[in-house]
Amino acid sequence: MTQLVTGKKTRFATAWLGGCSGCHMSLLDLDERLIELFQAADLLYSPIADIKEFPRQVDVTLVEGAVANVDHLELARQIRERSHIVVSFGDCAVTGNVTSLRNRLEVDDLLSMVYREGPGREPRGREGDGILPALIPRVLPLHQVIAVDAFIPGCPPDPDTIWEAVSALLHGAPVRLKQEMRYFG
Amino acid sequence: MSVVTLHINDELVSARSDQKLLEVIREQGIDIPTLCHLEGVSDLGGCRLCLVEVQGSSKLLAACVTPVQEGMSVYTHSERLVRYRRMILELLLSERTHTCAVCVTNGHCELQYEAAELGVDHVRYEYLAPQLHLDASHARFTLDHNRCILCQRCVRVCDEVEGAHTLDIMGRGANGRVITGLNRPWGECVSCTSCGKCVQVCPTGALFFKGSSVGEMEKRHAFLSWILNGRERKEWQW
């Protein structure tokens, strides 16, 4: 499935669920290693590429962010169906992290506190309008929604950690991070 | 003091008869994880990370509270122990809301360190996300129950070293809470001397100096041996 094994480029994707995009910023911090990455892989879907639908037969997908709303649920399931290897990319995907801090509140109370009773005018579009995706009752780490094959902890993961994991995946090897690359936070 | 001989991981070892297994294991240079153990205060076998297998016992025993015995055979890193230690760490992480990324001790936390050490790259259990409060009534310190692992180091150091016994535990199991002054706001406790020993020995971000931001709270334990050596042996190493 990888270039080294089959001679073909790895079909690579990244996705962004409930997170701050910091993990993608850290991915871009691979700097010149990005050239090496895209010599070995084709980027088929990513928040940094304008592609509307998650493609089929992806080899490796990195998923940033926790599962916080119905759109995330749908995309996560689609990713699992269409990817050979799914990687939880960063603490929000791995643990729920900051995104899941709202889990101690009821969704309706949360929306009231943050939006309905917040300063200024109430934003247009309620969940019932179908404009905003409805929040699920509890924010979940990715592996509690779909099966996940590898985990890259960190908030965000250090570029060296990302490279360690991604280069292993490009070689068709399992992700085995060293202790100093396994820290949450 | 008599001497006993025992086997640790099939190596013959001698120990003083009043020693606990944990001390002897560590003397052999064997790295065994602990969170509730703290040099200088009594042991309680609370965190269960130092569990070992002792031949002839069907139960796993906490090395910190198990006395050495002549002829015992101990295993410290069997496949089962490594698996259980990881499970224990995951259960600790799932029981409350640790969220390392926004913690005052991020990067200096013993729980975070042990998780990485034991290979915990995700938690297989459901996060309980309990509704716990934060006591910021004290002028200098804050107690955040969300990050407490109930190791009771703070309770023991306050009682055994400071002699104030302001801190204690209320409730059982996952419902246990560190309390101050028989469950009054910390700031109202007349017994608290504001010495800060509890803050320094806390392995996580549950106790911290007010005003600390993410990653700013570093704990130091060195004062403990300094105080105890002085008090008990009249050895003052300035």
In the predicted model, what is the mean pLDDT of residues A51-70?
97
Distance of alpha carbon A145 from the chain centroid:
13
Q: Where along chain B do the CATH 3.10.20.740 domains lie?
A: 3-77
Regarding beta strands B141-144 and A41-45, do their DSSP bridges make them parallel or antiparallel, or are they unpaired? unpaired
Q: How high is the ipTM of this complex?
A: 0.92
For residue B112, give the nearest of A94, A103, A183 by CB distance.
A183
pLDDT at A26 over 50: yes
> Smallest CA–CA separation between B20 and chain A, in Å?
29
Q: Report the domain count for chain A.
A: 1
Overall residue count recorded for chain A in this entry: 185
The answer to whether residue A162 is domain-embedded is yes
The answer to whether residue A132 is domain-embedded is no
- Which tokens go with B179? 């309390």
Instruction: Measure the CA–CA gap between B219 and B212, rounded to whole angstroms.
Output: 12
The answer to whether residue A110 is domain-embedded is no
Residues on chain A touching B117 (C-beta within 8 angstroms): 179
Query: Given phi > 0 = left and psi -120 to 50 = alpha, else beta, which region is A21?
Result: left
Which residues, including other chains, have CB under 8 Å from residue B194's CB and lie 6 or more apart? B138, B139, B140, B141
B116·A95 Cβ contact <8 A: no
> Smallest CA–CA separation between A124 and chain B, in Å?
31
In the predicted model, what is the mean pLDDT of residues A31-56?
96
A171 touches chain B (CB under 8 A): no
pLDDT in tens, chain B (238 residues): 799 999 999 999 999 999 999 999 999 999 999 999 999 999 999 999 999 999 999 999 999 999 999 999 999 999 999 999 999 999 999 999 999 999 999 999 999 999 999 999 999 999 999 999 999 999 999 999 999 999 999 999 999 999 999 999 999 999 999 999 999 999 999 999 999 999 999 999 999 999 999 999 999 988 999 999 999 999 987 6
Question: Mean pLDDT score of chain A, rounded to an integer?
Answer: 92
Residues on chain A touching B104 (C-beta within 8 angstroms): none
A140 φ/ψ angles, rounded to the nearest 5 degrees: -120, 145
Indicate the class that CATH gives domain B84-233: alpha beta
The answer to whether residue A144 is domain-embedded is yes
Q: Which helix (H) or strand (E) holds A151?
A: strand A150-152
Cβ contacts from A onto B, under 8 A? 72
Range of the domain at A53: 3-101+138-181
Q: Please name the amino acid found at residue A13.
A: A
Instruction: Measure the CA–CA gap between A86 and A45, rounded to whole angstroms.
Output: 13
Instruction: Measure the CA–CA gap between B110 and B91, rounded to whole angstroms.
Output: 15
Question: By three-state DSSP, how is residue B98 classified?
Answer: coil
Q: Which of B93, B82, B147 is nearest to A141 (CA)?
A: B93
At the second CATH level, the architecture of B3-77 is: Roll (3.10)
pLDDT of residue A144: 98
pLDDT at A125 over 60: no
For residue B117, give the nearest of A96, A179, A184 by CB distance.
A179
CATH number at residue A7: 3.40.50.700
A166 φ/ψ angles, rounded to the nearest 5 degrees: -65, -40
Q: Where along chain B do the CATH 3.30.70.20 domains lie?
A: 84-233
